[in-house]
Homo-oligomer: A and B are copies of this chain.
Amino acid sequence: MNIGTAAQKANLPTKTIRYYEDIGLIKPQRDVNGYRVFRDQDVHKLNFVGRARALGFSIEDCRNLLALWEDKGRASADVRAIAKAHLAQIDAKIADLSGMRDTLGDLVRDCAGDARPDCPILSKLGTLG
């Protein structure tokens, strides 16, 4: 498939996909006419990278994660170590988001009365774990 189709499937702008090729995150084939040709694998990778980026993972994080799946010769201890580090990172993000969720929920419940008084939540802002 061409870049437009891949972009739709991966939910990313074509510009971004070309950029990801530029920096070596993906390596689509080329057709005789010079067009990029994407396989399903490429789309899977793009999809994954797009979502990971939206969750605050860096390009280098993504590169490592993709390499985990790609590098079949890698020692399993190595895989485990990298994967575990990322698992911890993910768990921390989830915990952090849950905290924000609670705070926002509190805001809606406690502070959105018709005549909203001084909001008691600002004082908690930034201190939740």
Residues of A within 8 A of B (CB): 10, 41, 43-48, 51-56, 65, 68-70, 72, 74, 76, 79-80, 83-84, 86-87, 90-91, 93-94, 96-98, 100-101, 104-105, 107-108, 111-114, 116-119, 121-127
Contacts and interface: CB of A to CB of B under 8 A. Distances in A.
Contacts of A127: 44, 47
Given A55-B55, A55-B100, A93-B97, 18 more contacts: A41-B122, A44-B126, A45-B126, A47-B126, A54-B56, A54-B93, A55-B97, A69-B107, A69-B125, A70-B122, A72-B117, A72-B119, A79-B111, A80-B108, A80-B112, A83-B104, A90-B104, A94-B101
A83 B108 contact: yes
Contacts of A68: 107
Contacts of A54: 56, 93, 96
Contact of A87 (B10, B105, B116, B122): B105
Contacts of A97: 55, 90, 93-94, 97
Contacts of A114: 76
Contact of A48 (B47, B105, B125): B125
